[in-house]
Amino acid sequence: MSDASGGGSRRRWVWYWGLWGLLGLYMTTWDYTKYPVPALIPRLLLLNLLQTGVWGVLGLFLVWLADRRPLESFARREWRTWALHLAASVFATVLGLFLAYVILILIDLDGAKGPLDLAKVARGLPSFYRAYFHVVLLFMWALVAAFHSLRIYRKYKAREVESARLEARFAEAQNLALRMQLQPHFLFNTLHSISALIHSDPSAADSMIGCLGDFLRMTLEAPPDQMVPLRKELAFIESYLAIERIRFQDRLTIRLEVLPDLLAVKVPSFILQPLVENALQHGLSDRPRGDLTLRARRDSDLLLLEVQDNGEGFVAGREGVGLSNVRARLGLLYKGRHRIDILGMPGRGTLVTLRLPMDPAAEASA
Amino acid sequence: MTLRALIVDDEALARQRIRQLLEKVADVEVVGECANGVEAVQAIEDLEPDLVFLDIQMPELDGFGVIEAVGADRMPATLFVTAYDQHALRAFEVHALDYLLKPFDAARFHLALARARRWCARETQGQAEPRPDLAALMAGLRQERPWLDRLLVKQGDRHILVKASAIQWIEAEDNYVRLHVEGTSYLVRQTMAGLLERLDPKTFRRIHRSAIVNLDCIREFQAWTSGDQLVIMRDGTRLTLSRTYRDQVGEWL
């Protein structure tokens, strides 16, 4: 009951009094078994609703107390709190039953008219307590128990939400770190290539600077949510390859095979670049000519992204930073619902295939 | 005195950049260029340059792997070149080594070159400066990367890169060790203790005064005489697990 915000607070009051009202109706049916006279029903109803109303007010006192001194555990050192709630519920029951009896006299079911007679109250009270004390005490305990279950549930819920949020933030930060890890190396090497080209081939240096500008712009514009349409990822790769093409000086042939209806599918941003970088570095760098093929296909609800080179062929157990980085990022984003296959054909090249789920859940969790 | 220089970088344009800068320098002659670590080790041994421009990040065998293979004490004067490697830079700072960060301008390059000249100068010329301690650098790096994942072995006049995980077992032979790798073997000038220190103990254990095995290549153990055990490798080779080493091996049995 601590966060009494507008709508939530009204709904809680409706629930609280609604349940007491239902209890009043229930007690009315009980009384009807004792006084099975249809004409008495309105009076029985009024009597019981008033009685449960009084108990409801006393119940608020118990809830207030439970909110201030909640039971945290069954530990022995908590005995004072348990004793306090036991005493409070007994007190509320005693007082509640007294008031209920007074109401009973005032409603006057037997039709014996007359002013409130204290002697009559004192005479009937003991048998009234004998009849109802244990039941009403149970109601009060149920109320305190209900309050505590609600409190524990809320706490658990809040903790769950918090841990989910922490986890998401952690994954995001880690993802960002992994993404950034790959950029500086490429950036400085490109600047270095430009400084070499300035002297030997100024126009190539010129266009490399232009390409680097495009590349950096796309890096800076990368959305914080980390998922981008495949179209955007491919544009990014194109700007990256434009730089590499100059660096490899016409030794590089690049093929792009992408189904047009896949261009809108969301993929983790910058996921292809490390794979392409690997293909160029391990696959093509020592050869006079190199072919690089990028493919996007679909296999039922999986998106298949393939990077293929015709270099020396991947040797198992020789995984570089780039690939382990991709592995780590996909693990964070898809939690095992993805697959990475690396097929090395000695002397004929390497084929890396990413299988990524395309369902909305994957995009939502990213 | 003319300095004979070797340029090692996997990127053609990066090599070209250093070549361009050295063209204007009268007393430095470029004797070779290498595009990877294995070529570099070969060239350092064959050409015996005075000075090496050594790129750190290279596929397969990187710059530090080159030093490891050649031996820190046999390396010529070395100028490290790197684009971005915080790990390496920290090590350079600790050991006060000179390095070139890509991209570098002519002024920065000539400053580094001047320093390298002093390393190569003879004591008598009065400008000599002691060379940076590569052995200490490698020892420092070893603390962070203690285990070898590749070894460069010399076979005749060729260098062959051997993956540590491909070594099945290692046999002592006088002052050498013999690496048994998938049907063939290589002789390496190393001591058993020295090599064992650099191999990941998760995979490699000594089982005898004259044998280290790759645990992944063992098929079975058999009881043998007087407390010794017979180790049978996947390819059928039979080795002895001597009593002296049984306790060490026992930890993981």
Q: Give the domain CATH number at A207.
A: 3.30.565.10
Same domain, A86 and A45: yes
Same domain, A233 and A125: no
- Give whole-number Cα distances, A362 to A169, A301, A338, A366, B66, in Å: 16, 11, 10, 6, 44
The Cα B133–Cα B130 span in angstroms is 9
Give the pLDDT confidence score for residue B180 in this predicted structure. Answer: 93
Q: CB-CB: which of A184, A193, A286 is closest to B13?
A: A193
Q: Do A197 and B11 touch (CB under 8 A)?
A: no
Top-confidence residue, A270 or A79: A79
- What residues in B contact A195, CB-CB < 8 Å? 17, 103-105
Top-confidence residue, A219 or B197: B197
Same domain, A218 and A250: yes
Q: What is the mean pLDDT of residues A95-109?
A: 86
Candidates B23, B91, B71; CA nearest to B80 is: B91
Q: Indicate the residue among A125, A142, A168 that finishes a domain.
A: A168
Whether the Cβ atoms of residue A43 and residue A31 lie closer than 8 Å to each other: no
Is-cis flag, bond preceding B103, omega within 30?
yes
Candidates A197, A201, A199; CA nearest to A189 is: A197
Give the pLDDT confidence score for residue A75 in this predicted structure. Answer: 82
Residue A271 covered by a domain: yes
Residue A177 covered by a domain: no
Nearest CA in chain B to A184: B84
Q: Do A199 and B20 touch (CB under 8 A)?
A: yes
Give the pLDDT confidence score for residue B201 in this predicted structure. Answer: 85
Same domain, A50 and A105: yes
Which residues make up the CATH 3.40.50.2300 domain(s) of chain B? 3-143
Same domain, A157 and A280: no
Rounded to the nearest angstrom, the minimum Cα separation between A191 and chain B is: 6
pLDDT digits (tens, 9 = 90+) for A158-202: 888 888 877 777 676 666 666 666 578 888 989 999 999 999 999
- What is the maximal distance between C-alpha atoms in chain A? 119
Top-confidence residue, A227 or A30: A30
**Type of residue at B234:** R
Three-class secondary structure of residue A91 per DSSP: helix
Give the pLDDT confidence score for residue B151 in this predicted structure. Answer: 86
Same domain, A42 and A144: yes
To which residue do tokens 């994954």 refer? A171
The Cα B134–Cα A112 span in angstroms is 112
- What residues in A contact B13, CB-CB < 8 Å? 192-193, 196-197, 247
Rounded to the nearest angstrom, the minimum Cα separation between A185 and chain B is: 5
| pLDDT band of B80, cuts 50, 70, 90 | very high
Rounded to the nearest angstrom, the minimum Cα separation between B71 and chain A is: 24
Give the pLDDT confidence score for residue A2 in this predicted structure. Answer: 45
Q: Which residues pair with A299 in a beta bridge?
A: A302
Give the pLDDT confidence score for residue A286 in this predicted structure. Answer: 60
Q: Which residues pair with B163 in a beta bridge?
A: B150
CATH architecture of B3-143: 3-Layer(aba) Sandwich (3.40)
Report the domain count for chain A.
2
| pLDDT band of B236, cuts 50, 70, 90 | confident
- Which candidate in B13, B56, B61 is best for mutational testing of the A interface (most A CBs within 10 A)? B13
- Give whole-number Cα distances, B118 to B9, B24, B55, B172, in Å: 24, 19, 21, 42
Q: Do A282 and B165 touch (CB under 8 A)?
A: no
The Cα A70–Cα B188 span in angstroms is 74
Q: Which residues of B touch A (CB under 8 A)?
A: 10-14, 16-17, 20, 35-36, 57, 59, 83-85, 101-105, 163, 165
Domain hosting A222: range is: 182-365
Q: A179: which residues sit within 8 A by CB, 6+ positions away?
A: A222, A269, A270, A329
Same domain, A209 and A159: no
| pLDDT band of A236, cuts 50, 70, 90 | confident
Give the pLDDT confidence score for residue A277 in this predicted structure. Answer: 83
Give the pLDDT confidence score for residue A182 in this predicted structure. Answer: 59
pLDDT more than 70, % of chain A = 85
Strand pairing class (B184-188; B238-241): unpaired
Nearest CA in chain B to A247: B13
Q: Which residues of A touch B (CB under 8 A)?
A: 184-185, 187-189, 191-197, 199-200, 247, 249, 281-282, 285-286, 315, 317-318, 320
Nearest CA in chain B to A196: B17
Same domain, A145 and A268: no
To which residue do tokens 């955007």 refer? A232
Helix axes A183-200, A230-248, angle to 10 degrees: 40
- What residues in A contact B12, CB-CB < 8 Å? 247, 249
Write down the mean pLDDT value for chain A.
83
For the cut 80, the answer to whether the pLDDT of residue B119 exceeds it is yes
* CB contact burial A280-314 (16+ within 10 A = b; e otherwise): bbbbbbbeeebbbbbbbeeeeebbbbbbbbbbbbb
Rounded to the nearest angstrom, the minimum Cα separation between B59 and chain A is: 7
Q: What is the mean pLDDT of residues B206-214?
A: 91
Whether the Cβ atoms of residue B213 and residue B239 lie closer than 8 Å to each other: yes
The Cα B77–Cα B123 span in angstroms is 15
Residue A236 covered by a domain: yes
Give the pLDDT confidence score for residue B220 in this predicted structure. Answer: 87
Give the pLDDT confidence score for residue A312 in this predicted structure. Answer: 74
Q: A342: which residues sit within 8 A by CB, 6+ positions away?
A: A314, A316, A323, A350, A351, A352, A353
Give the pLDDT confidence score for residue A344 in this predicted structure. Answer: 83
Same domain, A316 and A260: yes
For the cut 50, the answer to whether the pLDDT of residue A366 exceeds it is no
- What residues in A contact B17, CB-CB < 8 Å? 192-193, 195-196
pLDDT more than 70, % of chain B = 97
Top-confidence residue, B228 or B188: B188
Residue A174 covered by a domain: no
Top-confidence residue, B59 or B240: B240
Task: Kindly state the tokens that stand for A327.
Answer: 């592995």
Q: What is the mean pLDDT of residues A223-235?
A: 81
Candidates A42, A66, A247, A25; CA nearest to A149 is: A66
* CB contact burial A37-57 (16+ within 10 A = b; e otherwise): eeeeeebbbebbbbbbbbbbe
Rounded to the nearest angstrom, the minimum Cα separation between B14 and chain A is: 6
CATH architecture of B150-250: Beta Barrel (2.40)
The Cα A48–Cα A61 span in angstroms is 20
Same domain, A305 and A266: yes
Q: Indicate the residue among A120, A145, A168 that finishes a domain.
A: A168
Q: CB-CB: which of B14, B83, B84 is closest to A196?
A: B14
Rounded to the nearest angstrom, the minimum Cα separation between B51 and chain A is: 21
Q: What is the mean pLDDT of residues B109-125?
A: 84
DSSP state of A280: I
Which residues make up the CATH 2.40.50.1020 domain(s) of chain B? 150-250
Candidates A252, A294, A246, A298; CA nearest to A271 is: A294
Same domain, A132 and A244: no
Q: Indicate the residue among A114, A141, A168 that finishes a domain.
A: A168
Nearest CA in chain B to A205: B13
